[in-house]
Structure 1
Amino acid sequence: MNILQTIFTDYYEEIKYTLHPRPSEMENIEKMINCGDPSFGGAMYGCPHCGKLKFVPFRCHSRFCPTCGNKYSMDRTTSMSFKLINVPHRHCVFTIDENLRDFFLQDRTLLHCLFHSVASVVSRMFFKMNKSRNFTPGYIMVLHTFGRDLKWNPHIHCLISEGGYSDDGVWRHITHFNYTYLRNAFRTALLNEMESLLDPSFKKVKALCYSKHKQGFYVYAKPNKCDPKTVVKYIGRYLGRPVIATSRIDKYDGEFVTFHYNRHEDEKYVEETLPAIDFIKRLIRHIPEKHFKMIRYGGIYARHREIDKHLHRAIAKEKHRVFRSFNQWRIAILSSFGYDPLQCPDCKHKMEFLELYYNHQRVSLEELYEKAMSKSRGKRSSA
């Protein structure tokens, strides 16, 4: 067990009966605690050279898990690379006033407002540049709810193409982004949408935000991050990665947890010690609701747009090429964690798959495949 699994296992009963976690929180906690437990099954591999056997347990596939979350982040980065056209992209961060943060914590449906507001201001900025040709950019939005200190701080990382396609397939390159407009428009769009969903008392908070942020909410652009390869690698750090890496947890004595981070403002090294239950509270609040989409695509990257059918040929020529075998399990583990899971620890030869174990039962690959196919056929016949 890693240190995070140990902490959550020790406080499992207290979490369940005193913190009253949301269903999605409890589901991900249980997945993370049992990640890599051989009793839940796994695959047996053998070395054809020396006869060494190796059992690889199933993983939990939870983004909250420090192991599976890293792999998920890498897979999403690769998936994003396939969608990007080969043009420069701008990485912008849309932040909000700290007085608004608790609204999103108490009512998580409001997180949709962040996506809606960013999408509307980006689209309008490009529309204002050339109304007659209707140039449409491609943009990808990623919700990030935590800062380096693990506190609740929802904000949007947005990857925006430096240009757009018109309805007739003409590309226009744009290097100047109107950040003054983005700041003011994002503040107005977000506050107006929140006001329409909340009770009248929100008007006081809205007025306070306008007086405090006369230049709009802070919209930050990372400098020199426009190359597609560089910007995808950078924003990949925010794609569903775990709230905290186990390497940042320095000490756990059964009651207190000590972790460290570099402060965002000045990169100063900070070490913080919290009671274990408070540390757990900080972590689990960042677990999203089940089926909530943390990554959303807009403009020419949106799947539902009818116009994409007409632009497909033009865009396909500009797609950014990446190494597709990155999706393979073996290479993914090697790239994420620095070791080859199928390399024989004795003779260093490649190990081969032998059989699966599921719920304490030996299952051949053919049996598992046949079971999956019969289940699929059953679904089709019932439909």
Structure 2
Amino acid sequence: MILLSTVIETFEADLLGHYQDSLLPSHRQALAAMKHCRTSQSPVMLAKCDDCDSQRFVPHSCGHRNCPHCQSHESQQWLERQLQRQVPAEYFLVTFTLPKELRALAWQQQRTLYSLMTRCSWETLKTFTQNDPQLKGNAGAITVLHTHSRRLDYHPHVHCVIPAAAIDTEKRLWRTKRGKKGQDKKQTGYLFNHKALAKVFRAKLLEAITQAGLDLPHRYPEKWVVDVKSVGSGDKALVYLGRYLYKGVIQEKDIVACRDGQVTFCYQDSKTRQMRTRTLPGAQFLWLILRHVLPKGFRRARNFGFLHPNSKRLIGLLQYLHGLNPNRALAWLRKRPVLTCACCGGEMRIVKTRILPILRSQTMPAGQPG
């Protein structure tokens, strides 16, 4: 497996030479963090075994949300929180895509455009839920912003996981939506018409951009793209979204070659589902990765409506009344692995963190194994 830190070490100078004027402070911070993550230059933690008193150093992760090494635990915690909020309804994955004509504006005004995309996606779904004859109530949704395609090109879009359900607060009713019957008279999942969603999303986002004082491009398409897909109980869709929530846009196992100034990575074609490879100069590959570093402090994932954390008691009541046990969905999740002692196999605990490499010899007691 080719480490991303190795790729950065090899091509960082070329990257700075070619993209010096395009790199933002957030890009440089991400680059520095991933370059030293779990290497000999990174800080370490001191772990101690309570059974045999042996100690050893454990490399620190950099903790950056774009690093493929880091934040597996945070990603799992997010997934657990979402699964605990499951409600008795069919779930749908709705994807709102920004047209390519507006991508330049999004890149120049990332914090503003990303926020507007998320807000308008939610407001579109909220409007449709309130107006739907079967639902007629308040919606709930989980939104996750992605900025990349499978090829890692710049492609901003918002994924929304939404149950086909609504709460009527005035009448205190829980309503779910029934699917549509096809020609074979079988019930199929149906939420909203994707063309109607795209039309409303387009109007809301264009108005929001104008109100924000930003200039729209001279030309942009009349028809936008919104995809609506049934995802059953929502488990698999949440796992997919959680995969890219904290651990960057590429896994190191997908970097298949790094030689002759080129980097090759593999990806799954979204149309054919076939695995393909893409080869780029090393500096361009790193730039491709860094383009998807979000502005500092920007929240990629958000919860709205009755799926907001403030609705914990309401969701608990719904689960109780409908006999839904959220712990069943959590049962298959892997627990965080414990650190075991190489001498006796006992469980080790961290006793000191953020130890600089030059202080290792001063920290480790004499006679203890490193």
TM-score (norm 2): 0.80
- Give the AA of the match of 1:148: R
Structure 1 residue 141: deviation in Å?
A: 0.4
Q: What is aligned with 1:190?
A: 205
Q: What is aligned with 2:184?
A: none
Distance 1:201 1:115, change over 3 A: closer
Q: What is aligned with 2:75?
A: 73
What SS does the aligned partner of 1:296 have? strand
Q: What is aligned with 2:335?
A: 331
Distance 1:148 1:231, change over 3 A: closer
Out of 32, 43, 46, the residue aligned to residue 46 of structure 2 is 43
Q: Quick one: distance in 2 between partners of 1:257 and 1:247?
A: 13
Distance 1:2 1:325, change over 3 A: farther
Structure 2 unpaired stretches of 5+: 179-189, 366-370
Q: Quick one: distance in 1 between partners of 2:240 and 2:173?
A: 29
- Give the AA of the match of 2:202: R
Distance 1:284 1:309, change over 3 A: closer
Q: Percent identity of the aligned residues?
A: 22
Q: Which moved more, 1:17-26 or 1:281-290?
A: 17-26
- Give the AA of the match of 1:27: Q
Deviations along 1:353-380, one digit per CA (max 9) or x if unpaired, are 373252326499xxxxxxxxxxxxxxxx
Structure 1 residue 253: deviation in Å?
A: 1.9
Structure 1 residue 301: deviation in Å?
A: 2.1
Out of 169, 175, 183, the residue aligned to residue 172 of structure 1 is 175
2:230 is equivalent to residue 227 of structure 1: no
Please give the residue correspondences for 1:169-318 in structure 2 after superposition, counting only pairs within 5 Å.
Answer: 169-175=172-178, 176-179=190-193, 180-197=195-212, 199=214, 202=217, 204-205=218-219, 208-210=220-222, 213=223, 217-223=224-230, 225-253=231-259, 255-303=261-309, 308=311, 311=314, 314-315=317-318, 317=320
Conservation of the 8 A alpha-carbon contact between 1:95 and 1:156: yes
Q: What is aligned with 1:4?
A: 4
Structure 1 residue 47: deviation in Å?
A: 7.8
Q: Quick one: distance in 2 between partners of 1:199 and 1:242?
A: 29
Conservation of the 8 A alpha-carbon contact between 2:45 and 2:350: no
- Give the AA of the match of 2:44: G
Conservation of the 8 A alpha-carbon contact between 2:144 and 2:160: yes
Out of 14, 23, 26, the residue aligned to residue 25 of structure 2 is 23
Structure 1 residue 15: deviation in Å?
A: 4.0
Deviations along 1:36-88, one digit per CA (max 9) or x if unpaired, are 24551212233836x76542222111111111154433332122223333433
Out of 350, 360, 366, the residue aligned to residue 346 of structure 2 is 350
Q: Which moved more, 1:79-88 or 1:283-292?
A: 79-88
Q: What is aligned with 1:124?
A: 127
Distance 1:26 1:201, change over 3 A: closer
Please give the residue correspondences for 1:126-141 in structure 2 after superposition, counting only pairs within 5 Å.
Answer: 126-129=129-132, 135-141=137-143
Conservation of the 8 A alpha-carbon contact between 1:70 and 1:242: no
Please give the residue correspondences for 1:49-60 in structure 2 after superposition, counting only pairs within 5 Å.
Answer: 53-60=55-62
Q: Quick one: distance in 1 between partners of 2:289 and 2:132?
A: 42
Structure 1 residue 129: deviation in Å?
A: 2.3
Q: Quick one: distance in 2 between partners of 1:100 and 1:107?
A: 11
Larger relative helix fraction: 1
Q: Give the RMSD, CA atoms, in angstroms.
A: 3.2
Q: Quick one: distance in 1 between partners of 2:264 and 2:346?
A: 40
Deviations along 1:219-238, one digit per CA (max 9) or x if unpaired, are 21234x12143443343334
- Give the AA of the match of 2:75: S
Conservation of the 8 A alpha-carbon contact between 2:74 and 2:246: yes
Q: Which moved more, 1:68-77 or 1:149-158?
A: 68-77
Number of corresponding residues? 340
Q: Quick one: distance in 1 between partners of 2:48 and 2:214?
A: 59
Structure 1 residue 121: deviation in Å?
A: 0.7
Structure 1 unpaired stretches of 5+: 335-340, 365-383
Q: Quick one: distance in 1 between partners of 2:169 and 2:149?
A: 39
- Give the AA of the match of 2:335: I
What SS does the aligned partner of 1:84 have? coil
- Give the AA of the match of 2:299: K
Distance 1:15 1:162, change over 3 A: same
Conservation of the 8 A alpha-carbon contact between 1:356 and 1:363: no
